[in-house]
Amino acid sequence: MRCIFLDRDGTLNIDKGYSNKIEDLEIIGNPIHELYYLKRLGFYIIVVSNQAGAKLGYYTEKDVEIFNKEIQKKLFWLIDDFFVCTHAPDENCNCRKPKTGLIEKALEKYEISLENSFVIGDKVADIEMGEKVGAKTILVLTGHGKKEITKAKPDFVAENITQALRMIRKKTEDEIFPLCVSLKNNKKLLGVIDTKEKSFWIKYQLEPEIYKKIIEKTMIFERNQVKTFREDINNYLVPKIVENIPVDFILGTAQFVRD
Ligand SMILES: [Mg+2]
Ligand SMILES: [Zn+2]
């Protein structure tokens, strides 16, 4: 699946300098709608963050955890995961950005296609990390962005996180189709078809026997009790799936519908 790797301080929340106090947490703008939409399109949203202040004594690792949980609350739990480097710069770990260790950790846990993924950040270190792993990079002009733009070579520049997310959505809308099933006028989002990745995933939301009829594919992983299926496809998957659908079900690439 595709993923958006988000930097934290200066990108997602206002960078107040080595702070993990929840009273200092201020989300930049309102990215909730875009995050929600991108998740429905099948993106993972993962935060990758350097928090050297934990080693330097500004706060503890526990403070970072609590702060991240507070971010989750403010963003309605739309973030899939947080990967944090708490090492000091002189420790020479392999996870402090611009190194790629945090992304490697994410790859151990999630099935991610990096070439269709994005890194959003306000510093050269974010952009360089993204470049190293072959993801597309977006520099935001919040946080240190305006200063860093002279040194960074991102693929795209955005005013802020919301605009960056909107750019990603617009860029990928033609490649990803939401897949809906209408069950006696009660439409449900089943999953998405990704024509570029030649894959699809489907949420296990309806009765198992319906799914059995629709999909006899390989299940590649199971996460949070949401079963995800994937199959390589040559072109579009829809015609293949439609063949197996009972008459009562109309399948198509439709607009988003609420659960
Ligand atoms: Mg930052
Ligand atoms: Zn580290």
Q: What is the pLDDT of residues 153-187, one digit of tens each?
A: 999 999 999 999 999 998 887 777 666 554 444 55
Map out the domains of the chain with their CATH numbers: 3-172 (3.40.50.1000), 176-253 (no CATH)
Burial of 10 (0-12, 13-18, 19+ CB in 10 A): buried
In angstroms, rounded to a whole number, what is the distance separating the alpha carbons of residues 126 and 138? 9
Pick the closest to residue 6 from 64, 82, 74, 65 (CA basis). 82
Between the CA of 151 and the centroid of ligand 2 the distance, in Å, is 23
Q: What is the pLDDT of residue 58?
A: 93
Regions of the chain where pLDDT drops below 50: 182-185, 204-206, 213-259
Active-site position among 9, 15, 122, 126: 9
* Annotation says 9 is catalytic: yes
Between the CA of 49 and the centroid of ligand 2 the distance, in Å, is 10
* Annotation says 7 is catalytic: yes
In angstroms, rounded to a whole number, what is the distance separating the alpha carbons of residues 15 and 13? 6
| Whether this model's pTM surpasses 0.85 | no
